[in-house]
Structure 1
Amino acid sequence: MSRPPYNNAIQRLGILEALSAYDPHVAGTPPLGVHTDSSDIDILCCAPYAEVFLDTIVSLYSNHAGFSCWQWVSGDRPLIATFHAEGWEFEIYASPQPVKQQAGWRHFTIEQRLLALGGETFKAKIMSLRSEGYKTEPAFWTALGFACNADGNTSGKAYAGMLELCDEPDEALVDRLKKAGFA
């Protein structure tokens, strides 16, 4: 059985409206068009008060299959909730940081820019790497010509490296794409 398009699932669940007080943003591979059958829908939120956000999440989604929620013990202690609905796994990531400053959003925006600048050939390379088991950031990092394995745990520093690219102007990104054989 195939699942519905991600945007239909979001709309049917009404998650953006339900979490509107937390500035929800959809990120991740489905809106980029580089998702696989195992991809989830990421919703990034700004939640300065973790306890209040937790109460909201539990009241809204704890009745969904696979509901799980935990809080990191380091950094700004983000809260993460996952559950299944509308044929998809949803992952809600809530940090006290504004969404546009969160690493997940910054990764999403640089990946968006690279896909726009790199064209269909670059997107095909990303999809090829994803089909080989590469996670998103390691796939982009590898496609750009940096050493990396599928989970990013090498000297290639895929996650940090992608964040460093966020501040690069389009011209520098096009140069990087050209050096890697794209654009």
Structure 2
Amino acid sequence: MGRPDYRDALTRMDVLARLAAFDPHVAGTPPLGLALAGSDIDVLCHAPDPDCFASAVWQAFGGCQGFAMWQWQGGDRPVIARFEGAGWIFELFGQARPVAAQLGWRHFVVERRLLSIGGAPFARTVRALREDGLKTEPAFAAALGLAGDPYQAVLALERLDDRALARIVARAG
């Protein structure tokens, strides 16, 4: 039967409404159309007060199967929580910086632009690389022939306009 569409899972678990105070944004492979069987749903949140975010997440999702939450040390100390529901694994990421400034969102926006420019052929290439075991950013970097650290290489593309991105995609194709 398979799991439901990620949007249905978000609705069934009421994730976006429960996190509304933290400006939640769905990122990652499901909205890009690149989800694999083991992909999770990433929800990025603006959490200027990590303790408040952690408390809200615990209250909303602490009873869910596989619930775990931790906080990174250093910097702005993002809070991450994982849990299962509606056939998916959810990963919530709360960081003090606004979502638009978070690295995960910035990567997502660049990848969405690349997929829009490259269309179905480029998406098939990235998906095939993911099916071969690459994570998302390394798959994009490999598909584009980008050298160096794939996370930095993909992020460096965000400053380019769509015409420049189209040249890179065409050159790689």
Q: Please indicate the TM-score interval, normalised by the length of the shorter structure.
A: over 0.9
Q: Deviations over 1:111-157 (max 9, x none)?
A: 0000000011100001100100000000001000124xxxxxxxx21
* Alpha-carbon separation, structure 2, partners of 1:109 and 1:63: 32
Residue 162 of structure 1 is matched in structure 2 by 154
Q: Which amino acid aligns with 1:176?
A: I
**TM-score normalised by structure 2 residue count:** 0.98
Residue 68 of structure 1 is matched in structure 2 by 68
| Secondary structure at the counterpart of residue 104 of structure 2 | helix
* Alpha-carbon separation, structure 1, partners of 2:60 and 2:18: 8
* Alpha-carbon separation, structure 2, partners of 1:75 and 1:123: 34
Q: Percent identity?
A: 47
| Secondary structure at the counterpart of residue 37 of structure 1 | coil
* Alpha-carbon separation, structure 2, partners of 1:24 and 1:144: 30
Q: Deviations over 1:63-97 (max 9, x none)?
A: 00110001111322110000001100000000000
* Alpha-carbon separation, structure 1, partners of 2:143 and 2:8: 30
* Alpha-carbon separation, structure 2, partners of 1:19 and 1:59: 11
> Cα offset for 1:161?
1.2
4+ residue runs over 6 A deviation = none
Task: From the two aligned structures, give the one with the greater helix fraction.
Answer: 2
Q: Which amino acid aligns with 1:92?
A: L
Instruction: Name stretches of at least 5 consecutive residues in structure 1 with no aligned partner.
Output: 148-155
* 2:82 matches 1:90: no
* Alpha-carbon separation, structure 2, partners of 1:143 and 1:113: 14
Tell whether the 8 Å contact from 2:146 to 2:153 is kept in structure 1 after alignment: no
**TM-score normalised by structure 1 residue count:** 0.93
> Cα offset for 1:167?
1.2
* Alpha-carbon separation, structure 2, partners of 1:128 and 1:116: 17
Instruction: Name stretches of at least 5 consecutive residues in structure 2 with no aligned partner.
Output: none
Q: Deviations over 1:11-34 (max 9, x none)?
A: 111111111000000000000000
Tell whether the 8 Å contact from 2:46 to 2:95 is kept in structure 1 after alignment: yes
Residue 153 of structure 1 is matched in structure 2 by none
Count residues in correspondence. Answer: 173
* Alpha-carbon separation, structure 2, partners of 1:174 and 1:115: 10
* 2:165 matches 1:173: yes
Residue 13 of structure 1 is matched in structure 2 by 13
* Alpha-carbon separation, structure 2, partners of 1:130 and 1:5: 19
* Alpha-carbon separation, structure 1, partners of 2:99 and 2:84: 23
- For the aligned residue pairs, the C-alpha RMSD in angstroms reads 0.8
Residue 101 of structure 1 is matched in structure 2 by 101
